[in-house]
Amino acid sequence: MNNPFEKIPTTEIHFFKEKVQRWVNVDKQIYDLESQIRELKKVRNKELEPEITGFMVKYNVTDLNTEGGKLRCKEKKSKQALNKDNIRQNLTPFINEDKLDSAIESMWNNRPEKVSYQIQKIKK
């Protein structure tokens, strides 16, 4: 590790400031584009998709040919995330109540943690 009292060369400070400024500019562009994407996805997913899938299910249409390719209406099933209540409900037939509470608490408190680093922009 560098000595914290060591003077940083002027050229390195200059390049560092340029990198930070570029990062800020790219971050703003990403934010602006993501805002546009969020709005478009809202229209697609909340307004149009329910109406289109409703029609397709009602009239038993599975595939639809469009200029951009084929659209398919398919049923998707997914599992809900695990939570303490769900775990308790499913383990109750197999484990007595005393051991169940301590097992759930142990599982919940001893989950591994993942550490990562990222730059976060703090709003003024």
Helix 97-109 and helix 84-91, axial crossing angle in degrees, nearest 10: 140
First to last CA, the chain: 32
Based on the fold, state whether residues 42 and 83 are members of the same structural domain.
no
* Contact status, residue 98 vs residue 104, Cβ threshold 8 Å: no
The number of folded domains in the chain is 2
Based on the fold, state whether residues 69 and 94 are members of the same structural domain.
no
Q: What's the rounded Cα separation, in Å, for the pair 102 and 97?
A: 9
Encode pLDDT of 17-69 as tens digits: 999 999 999 999 999 999 999 999 999 999 999 999 999 999 998 888 889 88
Q: Among residues 104, 111, 113, which one has the least CA distance to residue 83?
A: 104
Based on the fold, state whether residues 66 and 20 are members of the same structural domain.
yes
Is residue 85 domain-resident?
yes
Containing structural domain, residue 102: 79-111
Is residue 117 domain-resident?
no
Tell me the pTM. Answer: 0.53
1 falls in which pLDDT band (50, 70, 90)?
low
Based on the fold, state whether residues 61 and 89 are members of the same structural domain.
no
